[in-house]
Amino acid sequence: MTEWQVEMADIISEIARNLVAKHGSENRGILLLSGISTDSITYSVFIGKKGYIQYCNVVADDRENLDLLWELAFTPPPASRCEAIEMFIKSGKLTTNILYAKDIDLEKDEFEVRDEVVHSYFGDGQIVYPPMPFGSWEL
């Protein structure tokens, strides 16, 4: 492994530790989906609950993971930078899928793809999104 690959593994490990510390291990798994680019980061976390899948709103204590993902975006050399990452934690094990531009179908709706990916990890079940925070729709 190269030095930057080891650094990426360390960052991914730290993100996973943060997720388990926040969401615990008494669930059907924790899934982080993140789009990574040099100008933005997307961050979605899903928790497998009994009978459903819970989407978690991003809150202030997620800032550390967002900073780590930003660091992850710039760790590899430009030719090796990824576009997205999937991290799934279940029963103390971490599975990571790193996606590159060639792996992403830009013709598909990103929300459809997100739901497909979530169900690929948790199986069938309703994804429950919390209500939008007060004032979200105001400009």
Domain count, the chain: 1
19/31 Cα distance (integer angstroms) = 9
115: helix, strand or coil: helix
pTM as predicted: 0.90
Note down the domain range covering 39.
Answer: 3-128
Other C-beta atoms lying within 10 Å of the C-beta of residue 85: 20
Task: Flag whether pLDDT at 121 surpasses 60.
Answer: yes
Q: Is residue 139 part of a domain?
A: no
Mean pLDDT in residue range 108-135:
87
Q: Give the pLDDT band (50/70/90) at residue 5.
A: very high
Amino acid at 62: D
- What is the model's pLDDT at position 101? 85
Q: Is residue 40 part of a domain?
A: yes
100: helix, strand or coil: coil
- What is the model's pLDDT at position 136? 61
Q: Is residue 104 part of a domain?
A: yes
Q: Is residue 10 part of a domain?
A: yes
Q: Please, what sign has the CA dihedral across residues 65, 114, 48, 122?
A: negative
- Per residue in 16-64, pLDDT (tens digit) is 999 999 999 999 999 999 998 878 898 999 999 999 999 998 888 889 9
CATH code at position 49: 3.30.500
100/46 Cα distance (integer angstroms) = 22
